[in-house]
Amino acid sequence: MTARRPLSVCAMTTVRNDALFLPRWIAHYGAAFGPENLLVILDGHDQSLPSDAGPVNVIRLPHQPLPRVPAMRRRARVMSDIARGLFRYHDMAIATDVDEFILVDPALGMGLRDYLASRVRPPAAISALGLDVGQHLRLEAPLDPARPFLDQRGFAHVSARYTKPAIATRPVTWGSGMHRVKGRNFHIDPNLFLFHFGMVDFTRATGKTADPDRLATGWEGHLARREALFSIITNATPQDGDAYFPVARRRQTWVRPLWALNKPGMIPGDPVIRIPDRFRGLV
């Protein structure tokens, strides 16, 4: 009897002008799937991988700035097309932003590949519950990049914007920002979390609004909305994460925007949770 081969998963991202997240992205998904199964799409021929990236695959594309919405649509279509080809070699494909990290609940004691392999008849796309992590400006110090993020940050906004169908089990077409899959429903996994760390440090994050390339292509309003996270977290009365996670999954499953019924709707009131201690030391 022939032994079943291990599940083969590829993970990919796009990046430009980043020194904080890409090394962690490579380390995180490389540990889960092997660095040889990672694909980094560099936005511009002036970009490069970290010197210790190892056998990570890379595609360099010409840097061609567009206004924010067309840029997001182009990026989603490019990643969908590349993933479609990668399914000739892999069983699953994961597409995330470079500051997004999918974690299995540590209570299960399983790695991400083993957990995905345990899924029986998974849907075409799997969403992890989105947690938008930000610095609590009264309780948390500036980020020390030498230490794990989740040793230094303890609060997150439960955000449907990051409950993305990032894990594909067959070829799909992602929509703008990877927030939905065209022509398909979404399914929130009960044990997966997507941690977004774009606002993990106030000083680093607010510096992006001064990026002339972003300002010239209409990103100012988008960045300002993201920066509101610092106020949301700092002024919130946080809820216990473990008590709120099932509530969030139910609400995001059943409450959907009328203009996009195949993605979750935002929960009113900007719920903020304390990240459970078992996540400490990760990422």
Q: CATH code at 69?
A: 3.90.550
Predicted local distance difference test score (pLDDT) of residue 257: 85
Answer whether residue 2 is part of any domain: no
Answer whether residue 103 is part of any domain: yes
Q: Which two tokens stand for residue 9?
A: 């998963």
Pick from 165-169, 173-177, 203-207, 222-226: least confident = 222-226
Answer whether residue 265 is part of any domain: yes
In tens, the pLDDT along 118-137 reads 999 999 999 999 999 999 99
Q: Which two tokens stand for residue 247?
A: 């509530």
Answer whether residue 234 is part of any domain: yes
Separation CA 19–CA 23 (nearest Å): 7
Answer whether residue 97 is part of any domain: yes
pTM equals 0.92
Look up the domain containing 107 and give its range.
9-279
Answer whether residue 1 is part of any domain: no
Q: How many domains would you assign to the chain?
A: 1
Question: Does the CA dihedral 10-11-13-19 come out positive or negative?
Answer: negative
CB 130 within 8 A of CB 159: yes
Local structure of residue 32 (DSSP, 8 states) = H
Predicted local distance difference test score (pLDDT) of residue 1: 42
DSSP line for 187-228: -EEEEEEEEEEEES-HHHHHGGGG-HHHHHTT-HHHHHHHHH
Local structure of residue 181 (DSSP, 8 states) = B
Answer whether residue 212 is part of any domain: yes
CB 165 within 8 A of CB 180: yes
pLDDT at 219 over 50: no
Answer whether residue 4 is part of any domain: no
